[in-house]
Amino acid sequence: MGPEYDHHRSMPSPDKRRPSEHGSRSIKGGMMITGLDHVVALVRDIGAAKAAYQTLLGRAPAWQNSGEGADRVLFTLANMTIELMAPSGFNVAADRIRALLDDREGVLASLCFRVADMGKMHRRLERVALRPDPVAEVESSDVASGAVLHWKRTRAATELTRGVRMFFLELAEERPLSTATDIAPIDGLDHVVVTTEDSDRAAALYGARLGLDLALDRSHQDWGQLMFFRCGDLIVEVVRRPVAGGDSVHDRLWGLSWRVADIDATRARLLAAGLDVTEVRNGRKPGTRIMTVRNGTCGIQTVLLERSPKPAD
């Protein structure tokens, strides 16, 4: 998405748009972020990545699209979408995707936030000096069904978002959901992990400038500092683990933690599919159980998480 790999074509502004059905929440300064719309994962081979994520998620793709230097496959879950994008052909856009991949199988590339009012969002981004691009009207068509989606989009200047590419979208229509193709599928995203070497500046970005609610700020000598920022019904987790010679200016999209209803059943499904997964263990947060998926994720750090049901009142 954006100048490096602009994967849907911009359109003239239409006369009418159906407002997004997604819930919205007003945040300080007039900005409205309703959640994390999607994450973009750049991958080397779109066919292999599509098969890998259908196995991992236990769900079918919801949207497929090609053009302008990229092939794209989207899986839409209950609370967000993951967009797999691979270079296609030999042109400027495809070459930039290859450069970002840097010979890796896959890499998390962008956070794309859902907003309720693009006009307010754009003004807010300007006020907090994140230098947003002009708002573009975008459309995308699904190769299988021919269905078309429209949205408004802007992008903050990457050099001002600590190296993490950030887009902001106001959708005119909801994406179709990915249907389950196997037992014990993944239900949604629990949190996306960002690593930083400067927790103060990262907190200022996600909290004061983007307006996300800081739900937790905890430090420990063994694992560094954790900050949880609420974003819809999931968490943007910012982690500081000081490393000698680390980059104090640029943060990094590190990994994804997926939400499952029955982690034992999902583990059994993934083992049967030939994936390498760890034993289930208790999570750091009370009432959670987690496991790590070691392959079949296109090289993206991946954890599955089960939350214990809340006791009845």
Residues 13 and 161 in one domain: yes
DSSP string, the chain: --SSS--SEEEPPPS--PPP-S---B-GGG-BEEEEEEEEEEES-HHHHHHHHHHHHTB--SEEEEETTEEEEEEE-SS-EEEEEEE-SSSHHHHHHHHHHTT-SEEEEEEEEEES-HHHHHHHHHHTT--PPPPEEEEEE-TTT--EEEEEEEE--GGGTTT-EEEEEEESSPPPPPPB-SSS---EEEEEEEEES-HHHHHIIIIIIT--EEEEEEEETTTEEEEEEEETTEEEEEEE---TT--SS--EEEEEEEE-S-HHHHHHHHHHTT--BPPPEE-SSTTEEEEEE-SSSTT-EEEEEEEPPPPP-
**Length of the chain, in residues:** 313
Residue 298's nearest CA partner among 5, 80, 53 is 53
- The residue among 171, 199, 226 that closes a domain is 171
Residue 294's nearest CA partner among 277, 272, 270, 280 is 277
Number of folded domains that form the chain: 2
Residues 48 and 15 in one domain: yes
Residue 207's nearest CA partner among 238, 168, 175, 180 is 238
Residues 166 and 225 in one domain: no
> What is the average pLDDT across 44-70?
97
Residues 167 and 37 in one domain: yes
Residues 15 and 159 in one domain: yes
pLDDT at 223: 73
Residues 211 and 101 in one domain: no
Could you tell me if residue 1 is inside a domain?
A: no
Confidence of residue 286 (pLDDT cuts 50, 70, 90): confident
Q: For residues 82 and 142, give the distance between their C-alpha atoms in angstroms, rounded to a whole number.
A: 15
> What is the average pLDDT across 279-308?
95
| pLDDT tens track for 169-205 | 999 999 999 999 999 999 999 999 999 999 999 999 9
pLDDT at 248: 83
Could you tell me if residue 238 is inside a domain?
A: yes
pLDDT at 32: 83
Q: Is the pLDDT of residue 12 over 90?
A: no
Could you tell me if residue 276 is inside a domain?
A: yes
Could you tell me if residue 2 is inside a domain?
A: no
Q: For residues 190 and 80, give the distance between their C-alpha atoms in angstroms, rounded to a whole number.
A: 10
Here the CATH number for the domain that contains residue 85 is 3.10.180.10
Between residues 18 and 231, which one has the greater pLDDT? 231
Residues 18 and 114 in one domain: yes
pLDDT at 311: 58
β-strands 252-259, 33-43: how paired?
unpaired
Q: Is the pLDDT of residue 9 over 70?
A: no
Residues 15 and 48 in one domain: yes
Q: Which two tokens stand for residue 304?
A: 């599955």
The answer to whether 56 touches 276, Cβ cutoff 8 Å, is: no
Residues 27 and 165 in one domain: yes
> What is the average pLDDT across 47-60?
98
Structural domain span for residue 164? 9-171
| pLDDT tens track for 107-141 | 999 999 999 999 999 999 999 999 999 999 999 99
Q: For residues 219 and 79, give the distance between their C-alpha atoms in angstroms, rounded to a whole number.
A: 29
Min mean pLDDT across 23-27, 247-251, 277-281 is at 23-27
Residues 160 and 210 in one domain: no
Q: Is the pLDDT of residue 37 over 50?
A: yes
Q: Is the pLDDT of residue 15 over 50?
A: no
Could you tell me if residue 178 is inside a domain?
A: no
| pLDDT tens track for 84-113 | 999 999 999 999 999 999 999 999 999 999
pLDDT at 241: 79
Strand partners, 288: 307
| pLDDT tens track for 195-243 | 999 999 999 999 999 999 999 999 877 778 999 999 999 999 999 977 6
Could you tell me if residue 179 is inside a domain?
A: no
Residues 235 and 114 in one domain: no
Residues 201 and 282 in one domain: yes
Provide the whole-model pTM.
0.88
pLDDT at 312: 58
> What is the average pLDDT across 53-71?
96
